[in-house]
Chains A and B, each alone.
Chain A
Amino acid sequence: MNEIIQIFSGFGQVLNPVTLFYLSIGFFVGIIFGALPGLTSMLAIVLLLPMTYTMPLMYALVMCMGIYMAGLYAGSITAITINIPGAPASIMTCIEGNAMMKKGQGAKALGYATVSSAIGGSVGALLLIFVSPLAVRLSLLVRTPGKFSLVLFALVTMVVISKDKRKGIITMVFGLVCSTIGIDKLKTVSRFTFGFPQLIEGIDTTTLIVGAFAISEVLAQSTVDNRKYQEMVARANGIKFKRKDFFPSWKEIKEVGFLLYLKSSLIGYFIGVLPGAGASMASFVSYVEAKRTSKHPELFGTGMPEGIIAPETANNAVCGGALVPMLSLGIPGDGTTAVLLGVFMIYGIVPGPTLLTTQMHILAPMYLALLISAAVLLPLSLWVFGPYYLKIVRINRLVLYSAIGLIAILGVYAATSSSFQMGLALLVGILMYYLKQQGYPNIPFILGVILGPLCEQYLRTSLTIGNGNPLIFLTSMDSLVFLVLTIVFAVWIPRLNKKTDVAENGTIQKK
């Protein structure tokens, strides 16, 4: 209870004009990156990462929260209007959203998406505030062998969620290999430097993150068909909304019922807590649940508001959920939280059980920023900027991606002051682009980079405690629980993933 009061006392810091300025910047960057197909809120945070070096951590985190929340919401804008999801988590919104658009109710569909995202995001943020102190208390019970099994659990779930698990393992292995380069912290000997003195300190996390996500995307964007992109822009230009059309009537809101909002928020939050599950899965599960419990399931696919409300509520509630394992255990729940973990690491802060007690002055504004950015979605999108959101796709693509390319590569220089690290970022970018072309996922790579050192440290320490006997992982109760969970997830997640794929393929084919 004491921690919760401390969190709410952070309102003073977050309502400070400078903090609100950073939150607004994050919010609008998130809207732009979320709305543009191909760009994600995660990429926005990646580009921001090197700039956070000279910024107080609190402002950096507040800005990231704005990007995270707004980015997940903004994916629905192009999903509804032109049937192209701005973010992967909005793919389920295409089904009902675009059907409503075709019926001439596009503005109302966007209104439903906005209200749902605001409610889902707020419920997720509130649950984060109330649940994380409890999660921290539980995480204090986990000892070293348990920590290893927990990291293993995160790595395994991230792999099993990949469409091709073996490809997921390969990219994770590349990440783990990169994490072993440089000084071995347990014995202070240098490893795998291959004669390069610049590698003694290892490869900077920023170099790897920027290379894997930003440079590879800059390369991928060069293959985009400009003619098709112009067609998309022309379609978006042809759509005009009036402000009053956004608001669903009270009768329409009552017809849907508040239970759906609550249920989808809870689904999103708890899926967010699971490492690797992410917003796409939350959208799918809540959409299926909404259809199952609807009075008119036969009307799904023809423009049912419930089919927009459920996935949009759930994917924004994921934000709060995904931060729980990251903050309390240092285990990221999805790609964005993995990059956020990188922000913490840049400042030398290792998320874990003691974080909430030692860094409350930084975390409290961050929690509240998540809540505020969810709450302001409603007035900003419905009353102020809503009719202009579609203009985002008019941004000159050549200028945008050239600027992203420059910001990305300069970001590495800003973080490391080294042309060598810039070159490494380019190499990692080429590697990840090449692998992505063949269906290798890039998120396991970054999980390997971030969790690799922890995994090695816990493995070696546990084995040292157990005199080299690996049975210590089975005899330690907390470790056993996580190992059992790993097996359960390894069986359950691929099944759920298969269903999500079927649904997503169905959506794409309909297009």
Chain B
Amino acid sequence: MKKYLRKEIVTPLVTFLALCLYGMQALKLSVPVINGIPQESLFPLIIVIIGGVTAISLFVSELKRLSSFDGEKTEENEKGKRAKPVYVIFATAFLVFFFEKTGFFVTAFAYVFALMLIYDDKLQKIPQKLLFALLVCAFVYVLYVFVFDIRLPW
């Protein structure tokens, strides 16, 4: 059962469901054509048809491919690799959420330092990383504010 929850199967299925939701929203806008004049829902509905058929076709062929495939072992091996992108996502979400509240220097410094820790294999050379994080922030600030005249919150 677990192998049917693999991302190769889930992705086209979720895409199809998302397109159905999008299609329903499109139908709420208007009918596709009134008196020979195309309306705002026509193009979205064409997208839904093309995407929906493709997603279903992909789902069926992935199902066929996986029916004779032992996927559980591979899933286990991939677990370790998956953690780092998740940490990057959390670090970026932290930056996005606090950027306007706490300003550039605090969030950007914390973000760059966090990324350096995530990209490295071990927790090592912390003072060097702190220094590099500070330099990167200073460089980016100068680049945006002084070179390209773009305002950033403090």
Contacts and interface: CB of A to CB of B under 8 A. Distances in A.
Contacts of B44: 177, 180, 191-192
Interface in B109-142: 111-112, 115-116, 118-121, 129, 132-133, 136-137, 139-140
A165 to B, nearest CB: 9
Interface in A443-463: 455-456, 459-460, 463
Contacts of A423: 93, 96
B40 A51 contact: no
B93 to A, nearest CB: 6
A397 B81 CA distance: 18
Contact of B84 (A223, A407, A426): A223
The interface size bin for chain B is 35 or more
A426 B89 contact: yes
Q: What is the size category of the interface that chain A forms with chain B?
A: 35 or more
B29 A189 contact: yes
Interface of B: 7-8, 11-12, 15, 19, 22, 25-26, 29, 33, 35-40, 42-44, 46-47, 50-51, 54-55, 57-58, 61, 81, 84-85, 87-89, 92-93, 95-97, 99-100, 108, 111-112, 115-116, 118-121, 129, 132-133, 136-137, 139-140, 143-144, 147-150, 152
20 contacts: A50-B150, A169-B50, A170-B58, A173-B50, A176-B47, A191-B26, A194-B25, A222-B85, A226-B119, A396-B132, A398-B129, A401-B119, A403-B139, A405-B88, A406-B115, A406-B140, A407-B140, A422-B96, A422-B99, A438-B11
Contacts of A464: 36-38
B119 A222 contact: yes
Given A51-B150, A467-B36, A419 B132 contact: no
A210 B46 CA distance: 27
A215 to B, nearest CB: 7
B145 to A, nearest CB: 10
A226 B51 contact: no
A54 B148 contact: yes
Q: Is the interface of A mostly helix, strand, loop or mixed?
A: helix
Contacts of A413: 99, 152
A173 B47 contact: yes
Contacts of A455: 43
Contacts of B11: 434-435, 438, 440
Nearest to B150: A414
A427 B60 CA distance: 27
A167 B58 CA distance: 8
Q: Which 8 A-B pairs have the closest CB atoms?
A: A468-B36, A173-B51, A222-B84, A402-B115, A456-B43, A467-B36, A414-B150, A184-B40
